[in-house]
Structure 1
Amino acid sequence: MAREVSLNCLQELEREVILQVLYRDQAVQNIEEERIRKLKTHLQHLRWKGAKSVSQEYRENSCARCHQELGLLLNRGAVCQGCSHRVCSECRVFLRKTRAWKCTVCFEDRNVKIKTGEWFFEERAKKFPTEGKCSEDFI
């Protein structure tokens, strides 16, 4: 996609301006990559923090995120629609303008996809699942 362009036909000032733009673009890309890396690291930390440890006694009646014991009548927990784990009321994040909610990990996963633009590529793949397979149909 990227082509090499000869800058020999340009004047010195024009070359300097173009190179400055390219350096700024590279700096912006590096900052964006660092921002995305931090978001994904935070999400991974939330996943590890909420993971059930093998060394801990596994209890079915505990929150999948904070491991708080769930009650029989009060704070029984509810199943997250995103990951199907039972979570306590403290580990739920309600979505704006709706009564729907997600657990803290699913909510953060959603935020990372929004902030990084991953949602766009996922939706495009859903909408055009056969992209790249057309040539096989004609053979």
Structure 2
Amino acid sequence: MAHEVDLESFKELERDIILRVLYRDQTVQSTEEERVRKLKSHLQHLRWKGAKSSSQEYKEKCCARCQRALGLLLNRGAVCQGCSHRVCSECRVFLRRTRAWKCTVCFEDSPQRHVTHCESERCHIRSSSVRKDQSSEKTAK
């Protein structure tokens, strides 16, 4: 949402404050874009590193991510709840809430990992929810 504003109509102090806010916003946006780019690159690297194809058969019991052989008793691997491949202990993450395993690729690709850390969005969401709560309390009284 880009609006053109004539800065000449503002006082010098107001103009300086507005410009500082705009520069800070630009810095935050570029930092966020860089963070997202790095996350995408990391995820692409994890995918590229190795994954079994669900249509292909494998003779040896091995990790779907790093292709290491899995043992019969030790490091047998666990089935990923996301892709259903068996992965070794190095290539999986335990999810305490669901008490299940996910491989590193499915874990990185899951929606809970893509939470934005923008303070202004959080603040906006909190203030709008507070207003809703306050208005519902007024109507209840």
- Give the structure 1 partner of residue 67 of structure 2: 67
1:113 aligns with 2:114: yes
After the TM superposition, which of the residue ranges 77-86 and 108-117 deviates more from structure 2? 108-117
- Give the structure 1 partner of residue 19 of structure 2: 19
Query: Per-residue displacement from partner, 1:50-101 (whole Å, max 9, x unpaired)?
Result: 2359xxxx54622111101124555443321101222123322111255211
1:88 aligns with 2:88: yes
1:35 aligns with 2:35: yes
Count of residues in correspondence between the two structures: 113
Query: Per-residue deviation at 1:27?
Result: 0.8
> In 1, are the aligned partners of 2:79 and 2:102 still within 8 Å (CA)?
no
Matched residue type, 2:81: Q
Matched residue type, 1:26: Q
- Give the structure 1 partner of residue 103 of structure 2: 103
Q: Secondary structure at the match of 1:102?
A: strand
* Distance in 1 of aligned mates of 2:49 and 2:33: 24
* Distance in 1 of aligned mates of 2:63 and 2:117: 29
Query: Per-residue displacement from partner, 1:74-129 (whole Å, max 9, x unpaired)?
Result: 54433211012221233221112552111111122236423579xxxxxxxxxxxx
- Give the structure 2 partner of residue 134 of structure 1: none
* Distance in 2 of aligned mates of 1:116 and 1:45: 23
> In 2, are the aligned partners of 1:36 and 1:116 still within 8 Å (CA)?
no
Q: 1:15 to 1:115 in 2, by over 3 A?
A: closer
Q: How much is the aligned-residue C-alpha RMSD, in angstroms? A: 2.7
Given the two structures, how large is their TM-score scaled by the length of structure 2? 0.65
* Distance in 1 of aligned mates of 2:117 and 2:15: 33
* Distance in 2 of aligned mates of 1:98 and 1:81: 10
Query: What stretches of structure 1 move > 6 A for 4+ residues in a row?
Result: none
Structure 1: runs of 5 or more not aligned: 118-139
Matched residue type, 1:25: D
> In 1, are the aligned partners of 2:92 and 2:102 still within 8 Å (CA)?
yes
- Give the structure 1 partner of residue 139 of structure 2: none
> In 2, are the aligned partners of 1:39 and 1:112 still within 8 Å (CA)?
no
* Distance in 2 of aligned mates of 1:11 and 1:59: 75
